[in-house]
Structure formats: C-alpha cells, structure tokens
C-alpha cells in the first residue's frame, strides 16, 4: 500500500465521517475533499479538472431547469386536481392511483418538485378521507423513488452513473434500459404499499395538531407608544412587553417603516407602532401595558394597519432556500417574512424552545403565524414552501404547457431513438424553454440544486483519485479474494453483485444517493475487471441500490421532505422501509444477471 493510497483512504474516511456528522454541508465537504486531492498532489491538476468535463453534472443541472419549467407552468397542479375526485373512492383505490401517477411523472422529471406539489394536496385530501397524513406521505416519497429508477432521466443518480460509464469508455445507459428492473420493482413496491400502508404506517401528528384549540386562536393587532409613555427610551427587553403572557411582537413600525434590527437591540420611541400577536387571554394582558394604546381605542386620528385574526400555517424549508444554515434571529425572520415561528419539527421531534438560536436545516417544518397578507406574500417564496395549498407562482403559464411537454418528449425521443447523448438533448430542450419564455433564466438557475452539482463534482474527483492511485483496485482485489476463499468460481460474480448491492444500499441510507454512486461505481467496475466479467451488471446494481432508499429519512431527498411534514420518527422509516429494501435487493439480484449477463 503506497502513501498515496493511504492519503486517499484518509480523505475518504474524513469525507464519510463529515457526511455522517452533518455539521458541515455536504457540498462543502465534497469540495474540501476535491481541494485536498489537489493540495496533496494525488492527481495532476489537468487530470483532476477532467471531472468538470463529465457530462453528468451538466445533464443533472439542465434537467433541474426543465423540471422547474414543468412545475411553474402548473402542469403537475392540473393532475393533482383529479385526485380530489378519487378521494371519494376510498383509501386503497386512491393510494393505487396516486402511486402510479407520481411514479409516472417522476420517471421523466426531477422528483423533488413532484413531491413538493403533491404534499399539500395529500394533506388536504387526508382530512377529507379522515385518514392520517402519515398514511399517505411515505407512500408519496417511495412512489417518486420507484418512478426514478425506471428511466435514465428519472434521477440524477442514473445520469451520474451513466456519465461514469462513459469516462471508462463504456456505452451510457439508454433511456429505458433500467426499466427492465425498475418496472418490476415498481410493481413490487405498489403491491407492498397497498397491502401494508394502512396497517403498518404509524399515526403521527403534524405540527398544527400539537396545539390546543386555545393556542390555535391568536389575533394580530396594533398598539401605539403614546406621547407620555414611560416605555419611551427603554429597550424591548427592559420594557417587559416580551414577558407579558400571551403576547408576541411581530414587528415595530417607525415613521411608516418596519424596523429591521433584532428586537433586543431596539429602543422604543414615542409614536412607534407595535404589531402584536395575542392569544385570547393575552388581549387583556396587553391592554394593561402602561403607556401602550391600541389604535382602535384612541382618538389620535391614526390609521389602523393591523387588526385581524392571525392564521397558523405550516411550511418547510425548501431545496432552493436561502435561509438554510441561518438562525431565525440571524435572518430577522419576524421582519423579513412578517411571521412568527411557533414551533419547529426536525428529525421526528417537535422543538418549541430556543427557536431563535437554532440553525435552520433543509427539510425543517415550521409552524408559523401571521396575517393573511403576510401568508399570501410568503406563498410565492422559494425559501419556505407552505403546506396548506400547492406552491403558487406570480403568474400563470398554462398556455406554455404544450411547449414544455413537447420539449420533454423531444428529450426522451432523441435519447431513445437516436445516438444523441442525453446531455445534448437536455441542453437543447432547456434552450427551447428559455427562448419560448416558458421559464426565465433567473428561475432556471435558481431551480438548480447547486449543492448536488458540487457534491457530484467533489465525489467524482475522489472517485478518480481512488482509481488513479490504485485504491479502487485494492478494494476490488481484496473483496474478490475474500469471496474466492468461500465461494465456488461459477457463483462468485453473483455473490459479489449481492455484496455490491448491500454496500450501496447501506451507504445510501447513511450518506446520499449521489455520493454513494460516485464513490462505488468505480469500485464496481474494478471488481468486474478483477473477476474478468462484464461490468454492466455492477453499474446497474449501483444505480438501483443507490436510489432504492427506504429505510431512513436521510438517504433520499424526498424522504427528508416527508419526514418533518408527516411528523414521522426515524424508526418509522426503518420499520416500514427495511422490508422493502430487502425485497428490492432480492428481486434486483435475481433479475440483473438475467438481463445483463456476466
């Protein structure tokens, strides 16, 4: 074992540890690994930068933008409208149609917007069907995963592994090549979900359900610091307003403009307007504050700008959110969104203390309260996706739906029936959408999951370093030698294929699908080379196992979405998803060698 191999293994160990630790964003970890590889000279600069020529990240980015075009034109929302009619048919028929519909759409576009749009619809229909939302949201996520494994463009993992195959001078995946195993898995998953969802999925509470009826009724009103108020010149903390039971401060308006400073830094002045959120019992407490008058009760001739019942809504931190990693206090949440955060749901726990100092994470579900105007404004934001109804955009583009559908069909058709690579088809399709104004350039670039793109580049560099230094070959040779000791030669490829699947499946549940695919696809190719067999089956098994993530809420992005929204616990995914993992493993190991023989 050379020094270079030792260094590569050290970087790999640090990278995996950082992914599991979750204290540093995955894209930062990936780029840091890339930087260490360059700094330590484990790859020549020209060789290391060759990963930037890999078609996979460009294709993934283009498909993010195409998917955003379909989402913003309202095509998916139209389909969700038909679900309301199906809700009357009962839970099982509804579940069957929902699974197949979501899987079909997810096979051709990024499944993230599919799940984002369907979640509010299912939450609403769950109430109509008198079914807990937790009985629907995990099936929604799983259906999107099953759809993704059926086509090349169904998930970024498939595109990534296809790009890795090209760098090894192998043929890329065709559009429907993976459907030979993906469709049987979809059938298996549909049967499993229909048979066991009602009985085995837990009954969990969403954030709004943890509030009592008293807590759900809060009122937005506005108060005025009068001319002779003893509070004038005092800080908010010193004034004692925040200690008044049942009273919260939404914002402070001075000279007609909301104050942007944090509450603990504001000194009150005569004429300040306080926008307050009061529980019913807090209204009386607020009226007893000395030097504070309610605008509806004084004769100052002032226009009352806020006096209405506050609404409580749930929302989650979206994939394109700019507030990830920042605390509620740091972003001045109250002033920025004119909403207050009542509670937060993360990893199966409801958090209602220290909300101001807790860094927000992707997938966090927030319980918020504000006026109808504030909620309407937040509804168009990409930072927080509200769950009371589907995410809407400022203007309708439904007339553009035929163009977008034709573009997606064109991408599928060119990639399927010609030798045109998917990266070229995706770029041309994106250009069509931009020229026809189906999506603006700003919307297109903001829709890209740049964290995923940088993660892919960093992991491709690490995978290349493992290959060039001989680390991948060392792993492959040792694995083959271990199997050779206990298994007859004719069965060795089958056993190694099963081992490869298990390695990918376990790592995906701990890390992420793209990181796992980038790291293990070269190892699979090395194992095939050591055994003298066709590596195609090992690439396919890596693609399937890296996406078939059901046993944890962190292995796949859509699982993370529904985790917080549905009020699930970590163990819910293990109990319900692990049997599905094992069934997919069995079917895949049986089918893959038959379709892609060694």
User: For residues 80 and 218, which has the higher predicted lDDT (pLDDT)?
Assistant: 80
Cα→Cα distances 394→71, 74, 80, 397, 583, Å: 13, 12, 19, 10, 44
Each residue's pLDDT tens digit, 525-561: 999 988 889 999 999 999 999 998 899 887 788 888 8
CB 550 within 8 A of CB 509: no
Mean pLDDT of the region 314-323: 79
Average pLDDT over the chain, rounded to an integer: 83
Q: Which helix (H) or strand (E) holds 415?
A: helix 401-417
In whole angstroms, give the CA distance from residue 445 to residue 320.
10
What pLDDT was estimated at residue 241? 77
255's CB contacts (< 8 A; 6+ apart) are 271
209's CB contacts (< 8 A; 6+ apart) are 567
CB 154 within 8 A of CB 108: yes
Q: Is the pLDDT confidence value at 263 over 50?
A: yes
Q: Which of 293, 285, 250, 252 is nearest to 269 (CA)?
A: 252
Mean pLDDT of the region 446-464: 87
CB 295 within 8 A of CB 308: no
Residue position matching structure tokens 């299912």: 122
In whole angstroms, give the CA distance from residue 191 to residue 187.
6
Which pTM value belongs to this model?
0.79
Q: Is the pLDDT confidence value at 511 over 90?
A: no
Domain boundaries, the chain: 3-205+413-595
Q: Is the pLDDT confidence value at 209 over 60?
A: no
**Share above pLDDT 70 across residues of the chain, in percent, rounded to a whole number:** 88
498's CB contacts (< 8 A; 6+ apart) are 585, 589
3-class DSSP state of 557: helix
CB 370 within 8 A of CB 340: yes
- Per residue, the 3-state secondary structure of 213-269, as one string, reads HHHHCEEEEEEEECCCCCCCCCEHHHHCHHHCCCEEEEEEEECCEECCCCHHHCECC
φ, ψ for residue 224 (rounded to 5)? Answer: -135, 130
Q: Which of 161, 2, 9 is nearest to 466 (CA)?
A: 9
| Most confident segment among 42-46, 193-197, 475-479, 506-510 | 193-197
φ, ψ for residue 363 (rounded to 5)? Answer: 90, -10
pLDDT band, very low/low/confident/very high, at 141 (cuts 50, 70, 90) = very high
In whole angstroms, give the CA distance from residue 218 to residue 280.
6
Residue position matching structure tokens 């030698």: 481
β-strand 349-351 against 340-346: which pairing, if any? antiparallel
Cα end-to-end span (Å), the chain: 30
Q: Which value, to the nearest 10 degrees, does the dihedral of the CA atoms of residues 473, 423, 411, 414 take?
A: -80
In whole angstroms, give the CA distance from residue 447 to residue 65.
6
pLDDT band, very low/low/confident/very high, at 232 (cuts 50, 70, 90) = confident
pLDDT band, very low/low/confident/very high, at 161 (cuts 50, 70, 90) = very high
pLDDT band, very low/low/confident/very high, at 288 (cuts 50, 70, 90) = low
3-class DSSP state of 274: strand
Residue 164 forms beta bridges with which residues? Answer: none
In whole angstroms, give the CA distance from residue 232 to residue 270.
6
Token pair, residue 476, equals 């492959």
What pLDDT was estimated at residue 331? 83
DSSP state of 378: H
pLDDT band, very low/low/confident/very high, at 19 (cuts 50, 70, 90) = confident
Token pair, residue 114, equals 């599919």
**Share above pLDDT 90 across residues of the chain, in percent, rounded to a whole number:** 31
Each residue's pLDDT tens digit, 78-120: 777 677 778 788 899 999 999 999 999 999 988 877 888 788 8
DSSP state of 359: B
Buried b vs exposed e over 31-54: b needs ≥16 C-beta within 10 Å?
Answer: bbbbebbbeeebbeeeebeebeeb
Chain-centroid distance, C-alpha 261: 31
DSSP state of 489: G
What pLDDT was estimated at residue 159? 93
In whole angstroms, give the CA distance from residue 535 to residue 479.
15
Dihedral sign for Cα atoms in the order 360, 365, 370, 373 = positive
Each residue's pLDDT tens digit, 562-577: 887 887 888 899 999 9
What pLDDT was estimated at residue 281? 56
Q: Is the pLDDT confidence value at 406 over 90?
A: yes
In whole angstroms, give the CA distance from residue 483 to residue 268.
74
Residue 274 forms beta bridges with which residues? Answer: 223, 252
What pLDDT was estimated at residue 308? 46
Token pair, residue 132, equals 């807990």
In whole angstroms, give the CA distance from residue 332 to residue 393.
24
In whole angstroms, give the CA distance from residue 220 to residue 296.
13
φ, ψ for residue 385 (rounded to 5)? Answer: -95, 115
Mean pLDDT of the region 372-388: 80
3-class DSSP state of 555: coil
In whole angstroms, give the CA distance from residue 207 to residue 471.
48
Chain-centroid distance, C-alpha 387: 15
Dihedral sign for Cα atoms in the order 350, 355, 358, 360 = positive
């Amino acid at each position: 074992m050379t020094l270079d191999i030792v260094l590569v293994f050290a970087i790999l160990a640090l990278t995996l540890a950082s992914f599991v630790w979750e204290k540093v964003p995955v894209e930062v970890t990936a780029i840091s690994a890339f930087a260490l590889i360059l700094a330590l000279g484990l790859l020549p600069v020209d060789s290391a930068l060759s990963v930037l020529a890999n078609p996979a990240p460009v294709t993934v980015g283009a498909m993010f933008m195409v998917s955003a075009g379909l989402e913003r034109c309202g095509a998916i929302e139209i389909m969700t409208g038909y679900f309301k009619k199906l809700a009357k048919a009962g839970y099982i028929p509804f579940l069957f149609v929902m699974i197949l519909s979501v899987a079909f759409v997810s096979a051709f576009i990024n499944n993230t917007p599919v799940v984002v749009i369907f979640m509010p619809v299912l939450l609403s229909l769950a109430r109509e069907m008198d079914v807990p939302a937790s009985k629907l949201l995990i099936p929604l996520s799983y259906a999107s995963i099953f759809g993704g494994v059926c086509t090349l463009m169904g998930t970024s993992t498939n595109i990534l592994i296809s790009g890795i195959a090209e760098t090894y001078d192998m043929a890329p995946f065709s559009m429907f090549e993976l459907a030979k195993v993906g469709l049987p898995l979809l059938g298996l998953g549909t049967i499993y979900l229909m048979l066991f969802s009602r009985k085995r999925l837990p009954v969990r509470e969403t954030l709004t359900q943890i509030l009592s009826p008293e807590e759900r009724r809060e009122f937005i009103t506005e108060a005025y610091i009068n001319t002779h108020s003893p509070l004038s010149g005092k800080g908010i903390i010193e004034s004692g307003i925040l200690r008044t039971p049942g009273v919260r401060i939404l914002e402070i308006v001075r000279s007609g403009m909301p104050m942007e400073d944090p509450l603990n830094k504001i000194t009150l002045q005569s004429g300040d307007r306080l926008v307050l959120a009061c529980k019913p019992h807090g209204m009386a407490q607020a009226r007893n504050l000395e030097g504070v008058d309610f605008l509806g009760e004084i004769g100052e001739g002032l226009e009352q700008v806020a006096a209405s019942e506050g609404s409580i809504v749930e929302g989650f931190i979206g994939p394109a959110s700019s507030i990830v990693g920042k605390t509620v206090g740091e972003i001045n949440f109250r002033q920025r969104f004119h909403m207050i955060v009542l509670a937060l749901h993360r990893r199966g726990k409801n958090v209602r203390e220290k909300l101001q100092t807790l860094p927000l994470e992707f997938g966090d579900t927030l319980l918020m309260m504000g006026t109808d105007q504030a909620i309407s404004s937040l509804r168009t934001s990409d930072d927080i996706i509200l769950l009371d109804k589907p995410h809407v955009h400022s203007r309708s583009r439904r007339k553009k739906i035929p163009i977008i559908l034709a573009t997606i069909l064109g991408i599928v058709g060119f990639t399927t029936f010609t030798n045109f690579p998917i990266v070229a088809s995706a770029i041309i399709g994106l250009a069509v959408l931009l020229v026809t104004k189906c999506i603006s350039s700003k919307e297109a670039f903001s829709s890209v999951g740049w964290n995923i793109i940088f993660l892919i580049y960093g992991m491709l560099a690490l995978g290349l370093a493992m290959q060039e230094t001989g680390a991948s070959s060392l792993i492959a040779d040792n694995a083959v030698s271990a199997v050779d000791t206990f298994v007859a030669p004719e069965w060795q490829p089958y056993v190694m294929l099963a081992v490869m699947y298990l390695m990918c499946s376990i790592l995906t549940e701990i890390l992420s699908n793209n990181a796992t695919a980038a790291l293990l696809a070269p190892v699979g190719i090395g194992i095939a080379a050591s055994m003298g067999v066709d590596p195609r089956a090992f690439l396919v098994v890596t693609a399937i196992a890296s996406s078939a993530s059901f046993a944890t809420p962190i292995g796949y992005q859509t699982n993370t979405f529904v985790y917080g929204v549905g009020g699930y616990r970590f163990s819910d995914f293990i109990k319900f998803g692990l049997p599905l993992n094992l069934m997919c493993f069995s079917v895949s190991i049986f089918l893959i060698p038959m379709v892609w023989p060694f």
